[in-house]
Copies of this chain bind each other. A is one copy, B any other.
Amino acid sequence: MTSLADCWAMDAQDPLAALRERFVLPDAMIYLDGNSLGALPKATEARVRDVIAAQWGKDLIKSWNQHDWIGLPRRVGAKIAALIGARPHEVVVADSTSLNVFKALHAALSLRPGRRVILSDEGNFPTDLYMAQGLAELLDDKHELIVVPPEGIADALNDDVAVLMLTEIDYRTGRKHDMKALTAAAHAAGALTIWDLAHSAGAFPVDLNGSDADFAVGCGYKYLNGGPGAPAFIFIAERWQQAASQPLFGWMGHDAPFAFDLDYRPRQGPGESIDRFLVGTPPILSLAALEAGLDQFAGVDMAEVRRKSIALGDLFIALVEQELAGHGLTLASPRDGNRRGSQVSFRHPEGYPIMQALIARGVVGDFRAPDILRFGFTPLYVRYQDVWEAVQRLRVVMVEQDWQRPEYRRRAAVT
Which residues 259-302 in A have Cβ within 8 Å of B in the complex? 259-264, 279-287, 289
**Which residue of B63, B133, B412 contacts A249 across the interface (Cβ within 8 Å)?**
B133
Complex Cα gap A44–B283 (Å) = 16
- Residues of A in contact with B, size category: 35 or more
Chain B residues positioned under 8 Å from A412 (CB to CB): 65
Contact code string A94-120 (vs B, CB < 8 Å = 1, else 0): 011111001000100000000000000
Sample of 20 A–B contacts (CB below 8 Å): A24-B58, A40-B56, A40-B57, A40-B60, A45-B52, A48-B48, A56-B227, A60-B364, A70-B413, A96-B279, A97-B281, A98-B248, A102-B248, A125-B251, A138-B139, A221-B281, A227-B285, A259-B369, A283-B286, A285-B286
Chain B residues positioned under 8 Å from A289 (CB to CB): 52, 285
Do A413 and B247 touch across chains, with their CB atoms under 8 A apart? no
Complex Cα gap A57–B140 (Å) = 46
Chain B residues positioned under 8 Å from A359 (CB to CB): 62
Chain B residues positioned under 8 Å from A415 (CB to CB): 258
Tell me how far the C-beta of A374 lies from the nearest C-beta in chain B, rounded to whole angstroms: 11
Tell me how far the C-beta of A152 lies from the nearest C-beta in chain B, rounded to whole angstroms: 15
Tell me how far the C-beta of A363 lies from the nearest C-beta in chain B, rounded to whole angstroms: 12
Q: A52-B44, A130-B254, A279-B99 are in contact. Are A413 and B58 (CB under 8 A)?
A: no
Chain B residues positioned under 8 Å from A284 (CB to CB): 227-229
Complex Cα gap A95–B102 (Å) = 14
Q: Is A2 among interface residues, defined by CB-CB distance under 8 A?
A: no
| This protein's copies in its complex | 2
Complex Cα gap A359–B66 (Å) = 13
Contact code string A203-225 (vs B, CB < 8 Å = 1, else 0): 00000000000000001010000
- Lowest 3 CB-CB distances: which A-B pairs, in order? A96-B280, A134-B249, A127-B251
Q: Is A78 among interface residues, defined by CB-CB distance under 8 A?
A: no
Tell me how far the C-beta of A174 lies from the nearest C-beta in chain B, rounded to whole angstroms: 15
Contact code string A123-147 (vs B, CB < 8 Å = 1, else 0): 0011101110111011110000001
Q: A254-B126, A264-B134 are in contact. Are A52 and B60 (CB under 8 A)?
A: no
Q: A228-B284, A254-B126 are in contact. Are A40 and B52 (CB under 8 A)?
A: yes
Complex Cα gap A134–B102 (Å) = 13
Chain B residues positioned under 8 Å from A366 (CB to CB): 61
Complex Cα gap A247–B254 (Å) = 23
Tell me how far the C-beta of A104 lies from the nearest C-beta in chain B, rounded to whole angstroms: 14
Q: Is A26 among interface residues, defined by CB-CB distance under 8 A?
A: yes
Q: A70-B413, A228-B63 are in contact. Are A251 and B286 (CB under 8 A)?
A: no
Q: Is A232 among interface residues, defined by CB-CB distance under 8 A?
A: yes
Do B36 and A45 touch across chains, with their CB atoms under 8 A apart? no
Do B249 and A131 touch across chains, with their CB atoms under 8 A apart? yes
Closest chain B residue, CB of each to CB of A122: B262
Closest chain B residue, CB of each to CB of A254: B130
**Which residue of B49, B96, B147, B261 contacts A126 across the interface (Cβ within 8 Å)?**
B261
Do B280 and A247 touch across chains, with their CB atoms under 8 A apart? no
Chain B residues positioned under 8 Å from A53 (CB to CB): 24, 40, 45
Chain B residues positioned under 8 Å from A98 (CB to CB): 248, 250-251, 279-280
Tell me how far the C-beta of A394 lies from the nearest C-beta in chain B, rounded to whole angstroms: 18
Q: A279-B96, A280-B98 are in contact. Are A134 and B248 (CB under 8 A)?
A: yes
Chain B residues positioned under 8 Å from A126 (CB to CB): 251, 254, 260-262
Q: Is A185 among interface residues, defined by CB-CB distance under 8 A?
A: no
Do A282 and B248 touch across chains, with their CB atoms under 8 A apart? no
Closest chain B residue, CB of each to CB of A29: B60
Tell me how far the C-beta of A31 lies from the nearest C-beta in chain B, rounded to whole angstroms: 6
Q: Is A379 among interface residues, defined by CB-CB distance under 8 A?
A: no
New A-B pairs, 8, CB < 8 Å, besides A97-B280, A227-B285: A48-B49, A56-B227, A126-B260, A126-B261, A129-B264, A130-B250, A229-B286, A230-B283
